[in-house]
Chains A and B, each alone.
Chain A
Amino acid sequence: MDLRYSEADQVFRHALRTWLAEAVPARGKSPSIHDWEARRAYDTGWQRKLFDAGYAGINWPKEFGGRGASLMEELIYYEEMSRANAPGVGMNFVGVRHGGPTLIAEGTDQQKADHLPRILRGEEVWCQGFSEPNAGSDLAALRTSAVRDGDHYVVNGQKIWTSFGHVADFCELLVRTDSNSKHGGISWLVMPMDLDGIEIRPLPTLHGESDFSEMFLENVRIPIENRVGEENDGWRVTNVTLRFERGTAWAADIVHLQQTLVSLCELARATTRDEETAWNDRALRREIGHLSAEVESVWAMVKLQVSELAKTGVPGLGGSVIKLAYTELNQRVFELGTRLLGRAALSRDDVDGMPSLGMVDRYLQTLSLTIAAGSSQIQRNIISERMLGMPKEPRAN
């Protein structure tokens, strides 16, 4: 294991850091979470800046306009983005990290030409239509039906947790094309969001924003040529994006968490308790030290996974391990932040000019982490069944 960076890596880092030093301050403050028009402009504007600078689609192959970065460069990319406090991927997430990579792997030439350049340039926003009210952890139980009618599918059903549904241009939609086979009866469609029969109802979360929505589909006619992969092969198509998952998905967040702990030290120094600063509270300091060790070791896991992958070319199941460890750790860090604030945490905004570092807001956001993208419980099932060989949970088919 060698954790040092090669000369080429250092050059890549330096160029990126130099660019970010200018580009990030120029982006200005992010708009209010309720101003959807401004948010779309902000997120897609940043995507366009990344594209112009040659940093869009960091892990996309070069032939599709991506950077084609090495694993180490990708890790450096996330590290530097986080250090520079650069805008996140925001509502470009589904297109850049999920829909686009799926088209690269499985799409027709026409589908690739229609969407990939526009996604990279921030001209197309995608949303995800996977989960349903009765198909969450058991995603393959989805029931939204697609019935052929000439050269169209007629789609009926209901989706939930559709992020950015009301501002998206396209939706990656999973539908049931065969009700006789659970996993073998699913197809993957590209649905333009301006078709008739689509109704979006925002679903405000406990955090107060409405990034999520419910999506109701009534006789929506989607051209058959919008199908990606074969009919009834959608479950496999859904899993191909895993090829793009190189164990780096959480890299930026983990770096950010380490920075949050440094901020917690600063907050503790600025907080007075019993006529002393909270930093003089050894129990608190020890807890910060303990959490820091955990963050450091999860970061080491990411680097170990990346160095293994670079050597063997085979991605492990380490994704579940890192996801489980990172998300639960993240919640504990922000919980400590809210405890440190004490009664100041009763307000989500700063009180009397005392900076709360958005601790309360961010704590609320962390609550989704152990539920989304495979809950902690599903991750534990995956780890014990696929990595330790425990008997499988009962399932249909």
Chain B
Amino acid sequence: MPFEAVVEQAVKPFDGALWRDLAELGVLSLRTRENDGGLGLGMAEAVLVFAELGRRLLPGPLIWSALIAGLLPEVGKGGLVVTGLDQTRPASGPLMIEHWEGSNTLIVLDVEGVRRIETDALQARAVETPLDPLTPVHQIHALPPGERLADSATCQRLWSEGALLTAAQQLGIAVATLEYATSYALEREQFDRPIGSFQAIKHMLADMLVRKEQAMAAVYAAAATMDGRGVDDPQRMISTAKLIAGEAAHKNARGCLQIYGGMGYVWEMPPHFYLKRAFVLENGFGTMDEHADRIADRLGASATR
């Protein structure tokens, strides 16, 4: 998708045609068993797809669909569109829901398990100016109980998968912003030389590459571990991936914006779209700080042994 198309996408509400295409490609049912009409892929394959979705800034409730399609196969076919809310660590503050428009069902993850609430039953107010132009946000004030869909064990599994698929999208952002910054540094000339010939820029790019490689290794290793092809504690690996990929997405988007110079501050240029998406993803399925705490708790437990 050329970047102009991404900018155009920003003003559209919910793109039903795009959603049907994604469903047909199997993107929404990657993790659904083949018997239920899905692709039956492991996390190792799913993270590759989600990294690409992140790299291309694809809009829509992608992660919630991939998570829930295993429980509600219709989601994978694109017939039922779900969005979700992570309440596993309830906090005060507004209940903000992404991609409400076009969704029929709200999925809630909390300590007791997975619930589904029909969106008709809810009063939602559209946020007038969402931070990410490609992620419309609605606010709700109360959550009715809805219908119990799965127990807390399933909920924990979905949360873990959600965290890792989010990390994969963050990896995609780190990749894309490095790509944009690299080509811009080679094209843009000042003082009669490409700006990429100056160490000030070169070293920023090198740091961006290191962060991208670190995020990629962390995401792949966590995915292999979740698929049972690893030797480490999967929860620690997932938190590592979400934290490292989150940091890579945010810092690489910032680096890209800086390397674009004045053009980085312009609406029709790529950097801010990626930076804003990085903010959205950072606030889904555990922030960097929450994952750092989870890792420290596990490390502390191993220190007492």
A residues adjacent to B (C-beta < 8 A):
1-5, 261-263, 265-266, 269, 279, 282, 285-290, 292-294, 296-298, 300-301, 303-304, 318, 321, 324-325, 377, 379-381, 383-385, 387-391, 393
Contacts and interface: CB of A to CB of B under 8 A. Distances in A.
26 contacts: A2-B229, A3-B221, A262-B302, A262-B303, A266-B303, A288-B299, A289-B294, A289-B295, A290-B243, A292-B295, A293-B239, A293-B240, A294-B214, A294-B244, A297-B221, A298-B217, A300-B221, A301-B214, A304-B216, A321-B210, A324-B206, A380-B202, A389-B186, A390-B196, A390-B202, A391-B196
Interface residues of B, number: 52
Interface in B248-305: 288-289, 291-297, 299-300, 302-303
B240 A297 contact: yes
Given A301-B213, A390-B197, A290 B220 contact: no
A304 B293 contact: no
A4 B239 contact: no
Main secondary structure of the interface of B (DSSP, over half): helix
B224 A381 contact: no
Given A289-B296, A390-B196, A391-B193, A384 B205 contact: yes
Interface in B203-255: 203, 205-207, 209-210, 213-218, 220-221, 223-225, 229-232, 236-237, 239-241, 243-244
Contacts of A261: 299
B243 to A, nearest CB: 4
B130 interface: no
B205 A390 contact: yes
A380 B203 contact: yes
B194 interface: yes
B218 A297 contact: yes
Contacts of A4: 229-231
Contacts of B216: 304
A7 B290 CA distance: 37
Interface in B139-181: none
B293 A285 contact: yes
A293 B244 contact: yes
B44 interface: yes
A285 B296 contact: yes
Given A296-B236, A298-B214, A304-B217, A289 B209 contact: no
A214 B302 CA distance: 45
Contacts, number: 153
Given A286-B292, A293-B239, A318-B213, 13 more contacts: A1-B220, A265-B303, A288-B299, A289-B292, A292-B296, A293-B240, A296-B295, A301-B214, A304-B216, A304-B221, A321-B213, A390-B205, A393-B199
A1 B44 contact: yes
Contacts of A324: 206, 210
B185 interface: yes
Query: Which residue among A262, A266, A290, A381 has the maximum number of chain B CB atoms within 10 Å of its CB?
Result: A290
Contacts of B83: none
Given A3-B221, A266-B303, A286 B196 contact: no
Given A390-B186, A391-B193, A301 B243 contact: no
A82 B96 CA distance: 47
A280 to B, nearest CB: 11
Contacts of A381: 199, 202-203, 206
A286 B206 contact: no
B249 to A, nearest CB: 14
Contacts of A2: 224, 229
A3 B244 CA distance: 19
A303 B72 CA distance: 37
A333 B236 CA distance: 19
B65 interface: no
B29 interface: no
Contacts of A301: 213-214, 217
Given A325-B214, A390-B196, A289 B293 contact: yes
A309 B300 CA distance: 34
A8 to B, nearest CB: 16
A300 B215 CA distance: 9
A341 to B, nearest CB: 17
B22 to A, nearest CB: 26
A-B complex: 6 closest residue pairs judged by Cβ atoms: A289-B296, A289-B292, A380-B206, A300-B217, A265-B303, A384-B202
B183 to A, nearest CB: 10
B182 interface: yes
A253 B237 CA distance: 20
Contact of B210 (A262, A266, A325): A325
Contacts of B230: 3-4
B244 A285 contact: no
Contacts of B206: 324, 379-381, 383-384, 388
B209 A388 contact: yes
Contacts of B243: 290, 293
Contacts of B221: 1, 3, 297, 300, 303-304
Interface string B18-52: 00000000000000000000000000100000000
Given A265-B303, A380-B207, A390 B291 contact: no
Nearest to A279: B300
B213 to A, nearest CB: 5
B217 A383 contact: no
Contacts of A385: 202
Contact of A3 (B193, B207, B231, B240): B231
B75 to A, nearest CB: 28
Contact of A388 (B182, B197, B229): B182
A300 B239 CA distance: 14
A11 to B, nearest CB: 16
Given A4-B230, A388-B209, A304 B194 contact: no
Interface in B187-203: 193-194, 196-197, 199, 201-203
A290 B288 contact: yes
Contact of A285 (B201, B210, B215, B300): B300
